[in-house]
Amino acid sequence: MSSTAMIPALSVLDLVPVRTGQSSVQAVAASMALAQRADELGYRRYWFAEHHNMPAVASTAPPVLIAAAAARTSRIRVGSGGVMLPNHAPLIVAEQFAALEAVAPGRVDLGIGRAPGSDPVITQLLRRSGATSEVDQFPQHVTDILKLVSADGATVRFTSGGEYGVHATPAATGTPEVWLLGSSDYSAALAAAYGLPYVFANHFAGEGLERAMELYRSQFQPTEENPAPRTFITANVVASPTQDEAEARALPQLRQFARLRTNKPMRPLETVDEALASGSDPLEQSMIDQNRVRWFVGTGADVAAQLRDFAARHDVDEVMVSPAAGSYEGEPLDGSPGRAQTLELLASHLSR
């Protein structure tokens, strides 16, 4: 498949980054403005990630952010990328997303992941209520959610006899579209076995993409809702008018990734000015260089061409970009001009 044969649809993954001097109020405002811009530009979907207790990430509660984005948009699909199921009771997830489907009918995606999305301390705090899911129960809890969000609901059968009906919402006329997310063979195989759409988390997983996609497609079990495999890929992307600006705007997130991978203390995302003025030790620089190879950084035309090739190589019709452009110190705290610029340049070169 040639790069000219495919113009992939574009979607957005947002972690709601928080930079130096920025409040959560301002970071969320910047992301809401970005969701509105993505809607205007024709992006297919806008998803929020789930991470906890990270100084540079304000995307802690996807359902809340999805509701806010849905209220500010009219066309784009909104969803989670993803809800980390071990942190939540399946019924609560089903109720939240059934309610979101009622708020924005036909526009809601429920992306589900198996990782906790944080460190062991936060994981224990999330589980103190005793209402959260165990990782080994993940397949059953996915099944529970699929039933609960359906119009028919789920049925609890008692060992002593009798049944009890449970519905995520009283009178559903539609259901959120459920996707399985992951970066391993396990998630790909489970999505295939359940006949669910699948997304490989390529934006943070460096290896295993080809194998996971082949496993998903070769083992896929068709269902009425999904008669054929459906999948797309995520990618870290920075597009700017010049290569130099793109490289500079990519540096804060690249340095943040390196700190995470080398177990250095986390902090709010650096501004571009801070990142350019700071030096990196050899280990950190090695991690920056390794990650940079897998990122898409450059002018709008160059990144668009790279994404076309990327989509063609993996036979997908959609790429979900994580717009990783940092901000300069003088740029508005309640906006993210670099991220908006990335979406605008890609849309202008990858219009369908």
Nearest Cα neighbor of 47 from 110, 105, 106 is 110
Mean pLDDT confidence for 39-48: 98
Say whether pLDDT at 33 is over 80.
yes
Spatial separation of the C-alpha atoms in residues 158 and 299, rounded to whole Å: 61
Say whether pLDDT at 129 is over 80.
no
- Tell me the HSE value of 40 on the side-chain side, using a 13 A CA sphere: 10
Question: Given 3-state DSSP classes, what are the helix, strand and coil percentages for the chain, each rounded to the nearest 5?
Answer: 45, 20, 35
Say whether pLDDT at 315 is over 80.
yes
For residue 227, which amino acid is it? P
Spatial separation of the C-alpha atoms in residues 17 and 333, rounded to whole Å: 11
- Predicted TM-score (pTM) of the model is 0.94
pLDDT recorded at residue 351: 73
3-state secondary structure of 120: helix
Say whether pLDDT at 76 is over 60.
yes
- Taken in order of first residue, the domains within the chain and their CATH numbers are 3-349 (3.20.20.30)
Say whether pLDDT at 206 is over 70.
no
Burial (0-12, 13-18, 19+ Cβ within 10 Å), 180: buried
Mean pLDDT confidence for 290-315: 96
pLDDT recorded at residue 135: 66
pLDDT recorded at residue 118: 63
**pLDDT confidence band for 321 (50 / 70 / 90):** very high
Say whether pLDDT at 194 is over 90.
yes
| Bond from prior residue into 82 cis (ω within 30 degrees of 0) | yes
Mean pLDDT confidence for 226-244: 97
Sequence length of the chain is 352
Q: Which of 199-208, 278-287, 314-323 has the lowest mean pLDDT?
A: 199-208
pLDDT recorded at residue 352: 55
Spatial separation of the C-alpha atoms in residues 158 and 178, rounded to whole Å: 28
CA distance from start to end of the chain: 17
Degrees (nearest 5) of the Cα angle 105, 106, 112?
Answer: 105
pLDDT digits (tens, 9 = 90+) for 46-68: 999 999 999 999 999 999 999 99
